[in-house]
Amino acid sequence: MAQLTIQVPDELANRLQPILHRLPELLSQLIESHTPEPLTLANSSDLPTTYTEVLDFLIQQPTPEQIAKFKVSNQAQNRLETLLEKSRMGTISELENSELEVYEQLDQLMILLKARAYSMMKNDQ
């Protein structure tokens, strides 16, 4: 069995003292109840449309030029604008906020891909 050492505030240590013998069990329950379900191909229908668009684009093995020119559909762009507006207004739901986070991650990915594509195109000249 592995041994872990953690630092906790004195007040918390005092509160944990009576249940130290149950700590491994409690930690296990906590992890099981808060571990998010990983994305799998089985639930890919739950992915935002933009995610699918990017995956479909990348699976085609695009050239650096195609990567540099890539844009999401108008439908995906409109959805992103709706989510951003809801976020600004403070009316975004938890599910919509999760979707917005996916858009932000995809945006970062595409920025990096386009930067690499432009670099490759520049080196080829």
Residues 65-123 have pLDDT tens digits of: 999 999 989 998 999 999 999 999 999 998 888 888 888 888 888 999 989 888 888 88
DSSP letters for 37-65: PPP-GGGGGGS-HHHHHHHHHHHT---HH
pLDDT at 34: 57
Q: What type of residue is 92? A: I
pLDDT at 2: 75
pLDDT at 33: 66
pLDDT at 42: 42
Higher pLDDT, 45 or 88: 88
pLDDT at 38: 47
Percentage of the residues of the chain whose pLDDT score is greater than 90: 23
Higher pLDDT, 49 or 83: 83
Q: Which residue has the tokens 């932000």?
A: 104
Q: Are 87 and 97 in contact (CB under 8 A)?
A: yes
What are the distances in angstroms from CA 123 to CA 58, 63, 66?
Answer: 22, 14, 16
Q: How many CA atoms lie within 13 A of 35 on its CB side?
A: 7
Mean of pLDDT over the chain: 82
Higher pLDDT, 2 or 73: 73
Would you give the end-to-end CA distance of the chain in angstroms? 58
Give pTM, 2 decimals: 0.57
Question: Which helix (H) or strand (E) is 1 found in, with range?
Answer: none
